[in-house]
Amino acid sequence: MSKIIQYKLVTVFILIFILSGFQSFGQLRIDSPYSRFGLGDINAGANAYQSSMGGVGYGVRDPYRISSINPAAYANIDSGSFVFNAAFKGLLISSKTASASGGSNYFNISYLKFALPVTKWWRTGGGLLPYTTVGYNVSTYADMDSIGTVKYSFLGDGGITKFYWGNSFKITKKLAIGANMSYLFGTNNLRRQTQLMDDPIAFKYRITNSVDVRSLYFDFGIQYNTTFGDKKKYFLGLGAVFSPEQKLHGEKSSFAITYTDGDEGHEYIKDTILDLPLDAGDIVIPQKIGGGFSIGKTKKWMLAADFTFDEFSKYTAFGKSDSLSNSIRYNIGGQYYIGSYLVNVGFMFNDSYLTLNNTKINDYGISFGIGFPLRNNASTVSSVDLGFEFGRRGTTSNNLIQQDYFKFTLGVNIRNTWFRRAKYL
């Protein structure tokens, strides 16, 4: 196959994923009432390979897989290669309280990423992935004197998508720095509905509060890699990331109606109770600091760990806080080679920013996965990563919700040697 045909096929492949990605990200769903707070559930940004090792990545070096969680890691991309990564993710959730239970699931595109060399010391890349997601549907009932049973429903949907451009620069052969400039965009819709259950012809009431985000966001990283020991078979990677406190531009609006249900899901609006137009303001995203390392023997094994601190106690939206607290996340993972196959395992614990009913809402999970090469040739190297994660979030104590989840990720990695010149003897 000629180089020109290869370029065309890869370009078409990327365009298909990008176009389908924009549509799929808009349809992304979860089922967690905890996504009601802040801007929603935050996506850590780990790729499929990193997710199968507990989410580690700050100090991990890999020439085939793009690590956007530490932009300095782009420097590890081979000097003659164009790298493209894409992944699909599935999520199965089992939710329960002290008196009820339920479940949900979804399957969607997780991310689209590419990276390539500009010079011997400069790498660049970009991608599309979810930054936050919102999705929940919770109902409660109350008996009111002279009124009867009232149903209160709380619903949310939407999310913020990240489109980023990243650059990494080699300061020395072992040290690199990097930065991501991201454009965050999307809308979160939070709804509250009231319905009189004993009067089927009574009008229902619903208010929708929407927050729309369109803003730039920056994060930075540094990574140091070295080898040591007999014949330099062992390696050590050190990495750190930093995101300063930043203000995102946002707009909020509120809209309330009374209505009745019609046939085939249609609604008939009786009155508009409230219609507040878009009001611009700032959403303060607090600083994030993280660090990590990786150590191992080349093509044999690796052990890695990360630590991340988010100062969410300083989060505000339009001048109001959301009673969030500082968050600390720990990630530990490892890998072992069996022939050309990678076997990965990991653990994650997130002391999250949520405290509800005087109870901390923590999240923890274990993960494992396998990476294996596809049929390759002199110009193209491809591989597939499969990752699985079992975790738990929340508790049934103090009238809260416990969620047990299972995530599975399929990642596809393609490296094509576009930029190497043939040598003739």
Domains of the chain from N-terminus onward:
3-250+282-416 (2.40.160.60)
What is the per-residue pLDDT for 60?
96
Q: Which helix (H) or strand (E) holds 19?
A: helix 3-26
What is the per-residue pLDDT for 28?
47
The helix/strand/coil state of 352 is: coil
The pLDDT tens digits for 249-269 are: 999 999 999 998 877 767 888
* Whole-number Å distance between alpha carbons of 238 and 340: 25
Mean pLDDT of 82-88: 92
325 pLDDT exceeds 80? Answer: yes
* Whole-number Å distance between alpha carbons of 73 and 68: 8
Percent of the chain at pLDDT exceeding 70 = 90
CB atoms within 10 A of CB 227: 12
Look at residues 222, 182, 204, 297 and name the one whose alpha carbon lies nearest to residue 72.
222
Per the CB < 8 A criterion, the answer to whether 400 and 359 are in contact is: yes
Between the ranges 104-118, 253-267, 283-297, 379-393, where is the mean pLDDT highest? Answer: 283-297
Cα angle vertex 312, ends 303, 184, to 5°?
85
Q: Which helix (H) or strand (E) holds 64?
A: none
243 pLDDT exceeds 90? Answer: yes
Least confident of 12-26, 60-74, 196-210, 393-407: 12-26
Mean pLDDT of 345-351: 97
The pLDDT tens digits for 108-154 are: 889 999 999 999 999 999 999 999 999 998 888 888 887 889 999 99
Higher pLDDT, 181 or 261: 181
pTM: 0.89
What token pair was written down for 325?
Answer: 């607290």
What is the per-residue pLDDT for 6?
47
What is the per-residue pLDDT for 399?
86
Percentages of the chain per state (helix, strand, coil), in multiples of 5: 10, 65, 25
Per the CB < 8 A criterion, the answer to whether 365 and 350 are in contact is: no
What is the per-residue pLDDT for 14?
53
* Whole-number Å distance between alpha carbons of 389 and 387: 7
* Whole-number Å distance between alpha carbons of 10 and 98: 52
For the chain, the residue count is 425
